[in-house]
Amino acid sequence: MSTAVASVAANGVKMATISQLYLRRISQLHLGSIPKPKHLVGVYASGPLSLSLSPSSINYRLRKDRMPIENMYAECYSYLFATAVKPSQIGLRSTSTAYNPIKVLNRIPKQSGIKAASAKAGVAENPVGLIRRCIVLDIEGTTTPISFVTDVLFPYARYNVGRHLSLTYETPETQDDIKLLRAQVDEDLKLGVEGAIPVPPDDAGKEEVIAALVANVKSMIKADRKITALKQLQGHIWRTGFQNCELEGTVFEDVPEALERWHATGIKVYIYSSGSRLAQRLIFGKTKFGDLRKYLCGFFDTMVGNKRETRSYIEITESVGVDHPSEVLFITDVYQEATAAKAAGKSSFAV
């Protein structure tokens, strides 16, 4: 049996990248970028599905406060084999030497400073043993470059929040946004969240209220907070940008092909993102590839719960009409999200 050699680092890196050498030596396995324990920073293997992680085959360095070695072995086993098997279960093509469900070429996963390996998406024309009925996709870092969110969408919302609030202040929609923001700020002040400042009452005047809201929103954006109050307002701001042709949704090059193939084979595809459902529809509704929403069956946001909480994935499972959670595959680039989905009974695949 071939050997998978793991190196355990003391710096606590949470995800690692499979090197080009690794991808060449594992052409029949196609692991791509594997979600690994936070101490596992490199994996090397050869041969199809012939992996072993035994004490004699592991070189490791652990800080004294790290997990026991046997726990690390078990976690390595679980994710190496799960990541190898899941693509074939949904009929993913295995003709490329390096692929994942969604292409991740030259992008940086969240919570990691290491570039992810390249990948190729696709579904076989006649998938064998297809047991997945639904695929749920993350957006940032999975279907869409992280840079589009951090360098395009976030700055647009930050620069336009004041103008948006001023122009729409009296509308019911914006008043609802303000109500949510007030509640969030009050909670933040109680918890001592950095950057939170009191929002004056309405009778203090429109300009004073807006100034305080803008300061809080900019602080929330800077901290990349995954909270409904912020995401709902951002969606309304971005809608104006898309309507005025100032913004256009960006997805990886092979995402449209993957969505079309999954749709053609009868697999229902959903989106689950911390961004609002409105923002999700905007991103996929206006791209250089056209309107991709025709391939999507629905959208989930933080209204169903935090993406790192198991209950959120249970809620999604109950909403998509499957008999068992294992019929749903969740694809993300965040380790904690993948483990939360797995705990809910879903299959999860980290890219």
- State residue 121's pLDDT score: 36
Q: With contact defined as beta carbons under 8 Å apart, do 315 and 298 qualify?
A: no
The CATH architecture to which 148-243 belongs is: Orthogonal Bundle (1.10)
Residue the block writes with tokens 């579904």? 123
Helices (H), the chain: 20-25, 69-89, 146-148, 154-168, 172-191, 206-222, 228-243, 255-264, 277-285, 310-319, 335-343
- State residue 84's pLDDT score: 53
Q: With contact defined as beta carbons under 8 Å apart, do 181 and 232 qualify?
A: no
28-32, 134-138, 190-194, 282-286: range with lowest mean pLDDT: 28-32
pLDDT tens for 128-155 read 344 568 999 999 999 999 999 999 999 9
Residue the block writes with tokens 């030596």? 25
Measuring CA to CA, which residue among 124, 121, 144, 150 is closest to residue 349? 121
Measuring CA to CA, which residue among 331, 333, 273 is closest to residue 114? 333
State what percent of residues in the chain have pLDDT above 90.
59
Positive/negative CA dihedral, 89, 94, 97, 99: negative
Give this prediction's pTM: 0.64
CA–CA distance, 14 with 128 (Å, rounded to integer):
33
CA–CA distance, 257 with 202 (Å, rounded to integer):
50
99-113, 241-255, 258-272: range with lowest mean pLDDT: 99-113
Quote the tokens at residue 295. Answer: 């391939």
CA–CA distance, 257 with 309 (Å, rounded to integer):
30
CA–CA distance, 211 with 232 (Å, rounded to integer):
19
Give me the sheet containing 347-350, strands edge to edge: 298-300, 268-272, 134-137, 328-332, 347-350
| Residue 248: partners with Cβ closer than 8 Å, 6 or more residues away | 242, 286, 287, 288
pLDDT tens for 300-347 read 999 999 999 999 999 999 999 898 999 999 999 999 999 999 999 988
| Residue 166: partners with Cβ closer than 8 Å, 6 or more residues away | 206, 210
- State residue 78's pLDDT score: 56
- State residue 6's pLDDT score: 30
The CATH architecture to which 5-144+249-350 belongs is: 3-Layer(aba) Sandwich (3.40)
* Rounded mean pLDDT, 191-208: 95
- For residue 83, what pLDDT band results from cuts at 50, 70 and 90? low
Q: Specify which residues 8 forms β-bridges with.
A: 40, 60
Where in the chain are the domains?
Answer: 5-144+249-350, 148-243
Q: Specify which residues 249 forms β-bridges with.
A: 287
CA–CA distance, 36 with 47 (Å, rounded to integer):
20
